[in-house]
Amino acid sequence: MLLWDDVNRYAEHANPEPEIRVFKSDDEWKALLTPEQYRVARQKGTERAFSSDMCNMFEPGIYACVCCSTMLFDSTNKFQSGTGWPSFTQPVKSNAIAYHADKSYGMERIEAVCNACGAHLGHVFPDGPEPSGLRYCINAVVLKKVIR
């Protein structure tokens, strides 16, 4: 189980090696994604809070990266945070997500990205439920649900 200290260590030093790496040109990403998916995933955007029904979806399944189909989160680790974005306590594997210090907009946060393709997913915070205490606050537009 990943804890806040692990996330900080990854963000400050080195992320775990991904199982695969996916590289595409900017034009290939634009052809693959909708304009909103491209803006959020490839340009580090943020979707409007409460703009997706995914916050209230808790059916069994896996959430994958919309860019490269890497499995990122399991619905068993999803919870209702009330923030307006889907929230999870853990990734499916410790190397599914990469972490980067984000000091934009006058804040200090840790950005969560797909470790395979580098898609911006959202941020991770230390205010989630126990036992991990983590809250992965993820843009719904960068996730696709895969039925188990």
Catalytic residues: 137
Q: What sections of 1-148 are H helices per DSSP?
A: 4-12, 26-32, 35-43
In the chain, beta strands by DSSP E: 62-65, 71-74, 78-79, 87-88, 97-102, 109-114, 120-125, 135-138, 143-146
Lookup: tokens for 134 = 């983590």
The radius of gyration of the chain's CA atoms, rounded to the nearest angstrom, is 14
Chain CA centroid to CA 33, Å: 17
**Residue 92 phi, psi (nearest 5):** -65, -30
